[in-house]
Every structure is written in C-alpha cells, then in structure tokens.
Amino acid sequence: MTTQLTADAARLVGYGLRPRLVPARDDTYRGLIVRASTDDEFAAAVQAVAAGFDLVVMEISERAGIVVASTDESVFAIRAGDYWRRAGGDGKASDRVLHALAHLGAATMAFPRPADLANETYLGRITVDGVEAFVREAAGRLAEAAVRNDDADTAAGEPGLEASWRVYSRRAQTGSTGDGRRLPSSTTGIVGRALTFLSEQGLLTRTGDERHGTYRTTPRYRTQVREAGVLMFDELLSLGITAISDGSATIEVAWTPEALTEL
Amino acid sequence: MLQPATDLGFAQRVKALACTAPLHDLDNRKNQVQTADFSVYQMSELALNAIDLVTLAMDFDAGAPPELIVTGVAGFAARQAPLRAGGEHLRAARWVLESLLNVGSADRGFRAVYGMTAGDGSYQRFEFDFKLLEEVVGPDGSIFLRATNEAVNVLVGALELDIESAQIAADLRLETLIRRGRLSDAQSAAQSARYRTIQYGEKLRQRLEATERDVRTVDWLHEMPKFIAEALEHIAARYRAENAIMTNITEVRDTADTPATKLQAAKLVDVVRDCLRRHEQLQAALQGAGRRFRAQQDRQTFAPGSSVATLDLHAQLLVPALGLPVRDAEPVLSGYVGRSAGVHVPDAVRLLDLFTALITPPAERELLGEPVEEPDLDEAPEEPPFPAECYELLDGLLDLDPEAPRRLSGLLDEARRLHPELPHLVVVRVVALAAQEINPALRHNLPGVYVAVDDGTPLMDAEYGGADLIVARARVEKEEVMA
C-alpha cells in the first residue's frame, strides 16, 4: 500500500467527518467516491483508515457521499452528555428522555413506513410542529390504553418507574415567556432544538420557517437512522419488549364498500 | 366494620376534587402577591370565568387568543372592584391566567398525589397530572389557549362522566327546566350541552390531524366509523332537541310579562342559536372526515415504496420506547441519539492560534457602530430584448390587409431582408397570436384581431421549424348586443 493511496483514503474519511459536504458539489470528493467503488485496494484502505479512527464506514455512494458512524470509544463519538449540556437541560433522566424522543420522533415522521427507510431515493419532509404533534399523539394513544387498563396514574415518589409517554404528555406543548420568546423547555422547543442540531450535522436541510421550521432529509440521515434504529431494536429486544413486524403497515386499513358509502 | 371505598369511583372523586385545588389555591395566594394588592378580588371566580371564556371561544380549529381572555377576565375583575384602576384589573386577570397555566413549572401543569386502598388492604399513593388551560400553536404560528378535558369537566360539574350519557341527562334537564319556566337554570343547562358539542369537535379534530400525519395511528376500521356514527347521532338528537327548545323559548320570550324574563329568554335564544351553528360546523367536519381520510390513505398507503422492508420505526421503536419506564428508556434512547446524529469533530486548538488570539488587542468599537450609508439606487429601466427599430418594422410587417392573409414563411423572408434580428421577433409575435382570444379584443374595442392558423403545411426554414402558420388580420364587427 503506497503512501499516496493511504493519503487519499484518509482524505475520503475526512470528507465523512464533514457531513455538510456532498459529492455533487465537490469534484475531488466525487472522484474519491467513484474510486472507492471501482478500486478494491483503495476501498480496503478507506476501511482500514476508518477502523484506525474507531469509525465504521456505513455507506459510500454518490448520493450520500461517505457516511461514517463512530463506535462508542471513538474520539468522534457524540457524547450524549455534550448534547444535553448544549441543550441546556438540567440533566435529569426525564429531560434526556424528552430530548431523545424528539430525535426518534423526527426519524419516525421522516420515514413513516418501513419501505421509506429502505428506499434510498426517498426524501422525508418534516416540520417542528408536525414532529411534536406526532410524538404527542403516540403518547396520547398509550394514555388512552392506560385508562382502559385502569392504569391511569403512576405510583408516587418513583420518577424512574414512570412511563416515558407520561413525561412527554405532561410537558407543555408550547408557551410564551415574559419576553415574548417561545419556551425552550416546552416540547415544541425541544423538538426545534433537535431538528436544528440535526441540520447542523448535515442530516437535515432547512427549507423554510413555516410551522416553526420545515426540513427535508438528506440521504445521509436515512443511513444513520437505519443503522441506529437496528441497534436500538436489538437493545429493545434484549429488554424483551418490541414487536416483530413483517414490514407491512402497523395497522391494517381495510375498507368494506359498505363502510365507504356510510362516510 | 365499615370498609373504606376502594373502587375506581372513589379515585375519580378524589381526582375531581384535585382539579379544583388550583382554583382554591388562587384565593390562598392572592394576599402573598408583593407587587399589588389583590385581596379584594374573588380569584377563584375569576379563574372559573377565564376557563368559561376559553371554552366558549374554542372553535373547531382554533383556541382563544390569550389577550382576548385577559381583557374578558379584566372585565369581570372590574365588576368585583369598581373602585380600583383599570391597569390593576388587567394585572389581576393576567395573574389568574398565568396561575391557571402554572407558568414557572417545567411542565406547565399541576400534580396531585392521591392514595387508594388496594384489594389486599395496602394503601398506595399515585400521582395524578393534569392541566386546566394549555397553550397550543395555532395554524398561523401564534399561541392559543385551550381548556383541557379536566377543566371542562370541573366547569360543567359532571365529573369524568361518559360524554354521551351526560348529554342525555343535560337534554332532559334542559327540557324540564324550560317547561317549568326556570330560564336561568335552562340557560346554564344549554351552555353545558354546548360544552359537550365542543368536546366532540375537539376529539374529531385531534383524530383528523393524526390521520393527516400518519393514517396508521388512527383506527379507521372500527374506532373512527363508530365515533363518527356516534357524533352524527349526537348532532341529530341535539338538532331535534334544540329546535324544540327554540320554539319553546321563543314563545316564552314573546309572551313574557316582565322585562327580566324577556331578557333571559332572549339570552337563551342566543345560546341555542350558537349551539345550532356549532352543530352545523361539526356536522360538516364529520361529513368531510371520510373524504379527508381517503385522500390521506391514497397519499400515504398507496404511495409506491420499495419492496425491501426494514424497520418500522413507529411500531418497533417509538411506541415501545414511549411505553418503557424512564429508567429503562433513558439508556436505550440516549444510545439512539448518539448513533443517529452523526459524528462530532472535537475542536482542536493550535497553540499559535491561541497565542495570537490572546495577544491581539480587542478591536475598538463605536457604541453605535459605523454610520449606515443609504445606498443610492438608480431606477434601471428594463432593456427591451430587441432593438427599438425592430418593433417599428414589425408593426409595418404585420399591418396586413384583412382580405390578404400571409404565410409565416413569407413574413420571415421579408423580415430577413429588413433586419437581422427581426425574424426572431416575428416568430415570437406570431406564436403569441396563435393563442390570442377574441373576447378581450371585443372588450377593448380594437378594430381588428390577428389570427394565426395552422393548416398543416410544414415550415421550410433554415432557422425555425414547425407549422407554416397562416397569419391574418380579422376585422372585428360588433354585433348588436341582445337584450
């Protein structure tokens, strides 16, 4: 392996650390991407350089560029603590859950069907208000189920045992502060922060200000969500609580002709 | 030995009691307000008025603008303390509203702890979280107030009852009251019937919004048809009842002997009219619900997707994560955020940069900054795309005899002789003529109108292709307008 080959491979990995650059707008980048898909020796060198940085190459394509993910011990890993600190939360577990639900809700709203996550040309469009309402609705449905099961309230004095949906439902949706700003600790504020962060990371592109911020997904985001989702699914499985789906929609919608005429 | 109540009914009563606590709390706290003397106001009454105003202003799509509620409550406050200044009434109203929202708590809500004796005789404490008013985002991005179910239930006095049964009871009560001529009670009963209608509307609105986001989150197979049928039945029944009431009260109003009775009856007529209007609104929304669902289903379910299925984020990740206790959910969710949000490149500081930054003296800045220079903008006239003489030549060229139409090819040949850019202008103008309509020419009293007709002859030209249009000028002859 020559020094020049290693330098080029490292340069490509370096592009992966600058997620806002796309191959379509950078000739050097595009050249390296093409080379990685045609030159096996170069592709192996890219993998090796990435592995040396404790990074995993998830995808190399002209559409998304090179998508790298950090392993937990990598210096490039996003430490959850950094995010919470920047998000200004007071570090309580329930606050971290709210912020993380905003991230997961954004991904779910961006890729509502399993097929969307598998389709590499799919572009999701999300808004801050939309994601907020989506998670609130999902939490609301769990609340309804809890009422049906006579399980409406949690035991007092055990915040760790409280279900996540309760934390979300309870938090105010929006609110005005005395100086006319929006309440950052409201769920709309939390979702807004999550989407801003994702767009800073080059995973979403801001397209407008309607509904507190409109965004579309980038090909990179699809890859990241899919990989992170699979790992999270495994963790949920190990906790013994998740549904196995055959990839079709969650609720089957089947209409009889009579039902249609009634509406 | 007497057993303590252990059933759910008991829990409901305790919770109902808890919902009124924030209102009592207002009167307890009013003397502790340092910045003003609120002791003359009956705060819990003002709070009830506020909840009333918000509930009545809640429409199918929107809530109540906060400023409107503040002004309304300040009006009640002014009646309680007519000697105080108007500014203080506004401050009191704002204080009540902020207390009802519980501004200052992270969740902007209230929490009550209650206990129940379980089947085995052990006593267990639970937390009950509720809100009375909540701030929501309106369609235009502004903040609206909405009253929660708890607030409406406390207000109406029918605590945590099934919507439909409460409605039937309210109807019966209303009819009886009117028959016996107790109009002020009838008015409150009519108002409570109106709250029920508002609740139906609210539930439908939430369901439809959820459908728009994701068809699968709402059960349109069983739950929604049932809900819609129920709501339509409700409207039909209310419609009959209210029309009957309407006839009854109008009679009372017209035959009343005292002005007070007359006035009360007139108020009741207004309330019932508002009910009828709301029912029409809800009915229209219900009838449109199926159409909106089908449109969303077409958009979402039948959109082409890849056949390779992966994760169902909604069913397999989001819903299970929401169902987990905070203690278990936190590490799983944090792991997801860390992995899905990409990489973080730590800032590396070069010693040289740090040194330079530290020894550079801070730049002096004027307090007001640089003077802003007004940019001197010239009106730049738009350049015509063709030289001016071309337009004159074009007018001459197209000044056709109405009796002698010409072919485009002939026009092009002549244009080439006159000016090098003229042929292009001729083509642009003739193509525009082909789309001209006769009615505007008639309206503007033009003497003639140009027509370009394609008779199928292809255009043989070095530069342009297409049909060799026949260009003609038709004389416009006005017909006598028929009466």
Same structural domain for residues A49 and A141?
no
Same structural domain for residues A107 and A37?
no
Chain B residue closest to A81 (CA)? B334
CA distance B53 to B132: 13
Inside any domain, residue A139: yes
Give the ipTM of the model, two decimals please: 0.82
CA distance A138 to A135: 5
Same structural domain for residues A17 and A91?
no
Chain A residue closest to B312 (CA)? A114
Question: Could you say which of B136, B294, B322 has the minimum Cβ distance to residue A164?
Answer: B322
For residue B182, the number of C-alpha atoms closer than 13 Å in the C-beta half-sphere is 11
CA distance B473 to B210: 60
Interface test with A, best of B111, B202, B316, B328 (most A CBs within 10 A): B316
Chains A–B, number of C-beta pairs less than 8 Å apart:
323
Q: What are A36-56's pLDDT values in tens digits?
A: 888 889 989 999 999 888 888
Same structural domain for residues A146 and A50?
no
Chain B residue closest to A159 (CA)? B326
Which chain B residues are within 8 Å of A246, Cβ to Cβ? 309
Inside any domain, residue A92: yes
Q: In this predicted structure, what is the pLDDT of residue A102?
A: 92
Question: Could you say which of A168, A198, A260 has the minimum Cβ distance to residue B341?
Answer: A198
Residue B181's identity, in one-letter code, is: G
Check the CA dihedral A32-A34-A35-A39 and report its sign: positive
Q: What residue spans in chain B does CATH classification 1.10.132 cover?
A: 161-301
Q: What are B352-404's pLDDT values in tens digits?
A: 888 888 888 877 777 777 777 787 777 777 777 777 788 888 887 777 777 77
Q: Which of A18, A49, A70 is the last residue of a domain?
A: A70
Same structural domain for residues A116 and A198?
yes
Q: Do B135 and A107 touch (CB under 8 A)?
A: no
Chain A residue closest to B126 (CA)? A155
B193 contacts B171 by C-beta, under 8 angstroms: yes
Which chain A residues are within 8 Å of B10, Cβ to Cβ? none
Q: Do B310 and A197 touch (CB under 8 A)?
A: no
Could you tell me the two tokens for B231? Answer: 């709501």
Q: Do B135 and A173 touch (CB under 8 A)?
A: yes
Q: Do B214 and A112 touch (CB under 8 A)?
A: yes
Check the CA dihedral B263-B268-B270-B271 and report its sign: positive
Residue A207's identity, in one-letter code, is: T
Inside any domain, residue A58: yes
Task: Please give the C-alpha separations between residue B343 and each of A14, A16, A72, A195, in angstroms, as whole numbers.
Answer: 11, 9, 11, 16
**Helical axes B388-397 vs B422-434, angle rounded to 10°:** 60
For residue B402, the number of C-alpha atoms closer than 13 Å in the C-beta half-sphere is 7
Among B310, B244, B211, B374, residue whose Cα is nearest residue A120: B310
pLDDT at A178 over 70: no
Same structural domain for residues A107 and A171?
yes
pLDDT level of residue A256 (50, 70, 90 thresholds): very low
Q: What are A93-108's pLDDT values in tens digits?
A: 888 888 889 999 999 8
pLDDT at A89 over 70: no
Inside any domain, residue A233: yes
Residue B362's identity, in one-letter code, is: P
**Helical axes A3-16 vs A40-52, angle rounded to 10°:** 60
Question: Could you say which of A243, A253, A254 has the minimum Cβ distance to residue B315?
Answer: A243
Among B337, B338, B450, residue whose Cα is nearest residue B397: B450
Interface test with A, best of B163, B339, B345, B347 (most A CBs within 10 A): B339
Other beta carbons within 10 angstroms of residue B1's beta carbon come to 2
Q: Do A262 and B106 touch (CB under 8 A)?
A: no
Radius of gyration, alpha carbons of chain A: 22
Which chain B residues are within 8 Å of A119, Cβ to Cβ? 305-306
Dmax over CA atoms of chain A, in Å, equals 73
Q: Which of A35, A70, A105 is the last residue of a domain?
A: A70
Which chain A residues are within 8 Å of B206, Cβ to Cβ? 137, 140
Which chain B residues are within 8 Å of A126, Cβ to Cβ? none
Range of the domain at A136: 80-239
Q: In this predicted structure, what is the pLDDT of residue A259?
A: 45
Same structural domain for residues A113 and A225?
yes
Task: State which H helix or E strand residue B134 sits in.
Answer: strand B133-137
Could you tell me which CATH number the domain at B161-301 has? 1.10.132
Interface test with A, best of B15, B312, B324, B347 (most A CBs within 10 A): B312
Residue B94's identity, in one-letter code, is: R
Question: Could you say which of B137, B206, B341 has the minimum Cβ distance to residue A129?
Answer: B137
Q: What are A186-201's pLDDT values in tens digits?
A: 888 889 989 998 988 8
Q: In this predicted structure, what is the pLDDT of residue A91?
A: 66
Same structural domain for residues A103 and A186?
yes
Q: Do A198 and B289 touch (CB under 8 A)?
A: no
Q: Which of A43, A70, A97 is the last residue of a domain?
A: A70
Chain B residue closest to A237 (CA)? B316
Inside any domain, residue A151: yes
Inside any domain, residue A251: no
Per-residue pLDDT of chain B (483 residues; tens, 9 = 90+): 444 545 556 777 788 788 888 888 888 888 888 788 888 888 888 888 888 888 777 765 567 888 888 999 999 999 988 888 888 899 899 899 888 888 877 778 888 888 877 777 788 888 888 888 888 877 666 788 888 777 776 655 544 444 445 555 556 556 656 655 566 666 666 666 677 777 777 777 777 777 766 666 667 777 777 888 888 887 787 777 777 777 767 766 777 677 777 777 777 778 778 778 877 888 888 877 777 777 777 666 555 444 444 678 888 888 888 888 888 888 888 888 888 887 888 777 788 888 888 888 877 777 777 777 787 777 777 777 777 788 888 887 777 777 778 888 888 888 888 888 888 888 887 777 766 666 776 777 777 777 777 777 888 777 787 778 888 877 777 665 443
Task: State which H helix or E strand residue A60 sits in.
Answer: strand A55-61
Inside any domain, residue A259: no
Same structural domain for residues A87 and A66?
no
Interface test with A, best of B162, B222, B313 (most A CBs within 10 A): B313
Chain B residue closest to A221 (CA)? B340
Q: Do A175 and B309 touch (CB under 8 A)?
A: no
Give the three-class secondary structure for A221. Answer: helix
Q: What are B310-337's pLDDT values in tens digits?
A: 678 888 888 888 888 888 888 888 888 8
Q: Do A172 and B228 touch (CB under 8 A)?
A: no
Which chain B residues are within 8 Å of A252, Cβ to Cβ? 221
Q: Do A118 and B126 touch (CB under 8 A)?
A: no
Q: Do B326 and A232 touch (CB under 8 A)?
A: no
Which chain B residues are within 8 Å of A188, Cβ to Cβ? 137
Q: What residues contact B221, with CB distance under 8 A and at least 6 apart?
A: A251, A252, A253, A254, A255
Distance from CA of A26 to the nearest CA of B (A): 21
Check the CA dihedral B23-B24-B29-B30 and report its sign: positive
Interface test with B, best of A83, A134, A164 (most B CBs within 10 A): A164
Which chain A residues are within 8 Å of B317, Cβ to Cβ? 104, 108, 229, 232-233, 236, 242
B90 contacts B70 by C-beta, under 8 angstroms: yes
Q: What are residue B274's DSSP bridge partners? A: none
Which chain A residues are within 8 Å of B217, Cβ to Cβ? 137-138, 141, 251
Domain count, chain A: 2
Mean pLDDT across A215-226: 87
Q: What are A10-27's pLDDT values in tens digits?
A: 999 999 888 888 888 888
B340 contacts A101 by C-beta, under 8 angstroms: no
Q: In this predicted structure, what is the pLDDT of residue B23?
A: 86
Give the three-class secondary structure for A105. Answer: helix
Same structural domain for residues A154 and A46?
no
Inside any domain, residue A244: no
Question: Could you say which of B225, B330, B336 has the minimum Cβ distance to residue A262?
Answer: B225
Same structural domain for residues A66 and A100?
no
Reported pTM: 0.57
Question: Could you say which of A108, A114, A212 has the minimum Cβ distance to residue B310?
Answer: A114
Q: Do A103 and B291 touch (CB under 8 A)?
A: no
